[in-house]
Amino acid sequence: MHRPVSYIQQTKDLYDSLGYDAYRWFEADSLPDFVKPSKPLAQSKLGLVSTAGTYLAGQVAYHYKDDTSIRTIPGDSEVADIRFSHVTENYLAEARQDPRCVFPIEALRALRDSGAIGGLADNFFSCMGGIYSQRRVTDELIPDLAAHIEKENIDVLLLVPL
Question: Tens of pLDDT along 143-158?
Answer: 999 999 999 999 999 9
Mean pLDDT of the chain: 85
Phi/psi of residue 27, nearest 5 degrees: -130, 125
Question: Tens of pLDDT along 27-72?
Answer: 778 888 888 888 999 999 999 999 888 899 999 988 877 789 999 9
Instruction: Flag whether pLDDT at 17 surpasses 70.
Output: yes
pTM summary value: 0.81
Phi/psi of residue 123, nearest 5 degrees: -130, 140
Q: Which amino acid is at 128?
A: M
Pair 102, 54: CB distance under 8 Å: yes
Average pLDDT over residues 113-119: 97
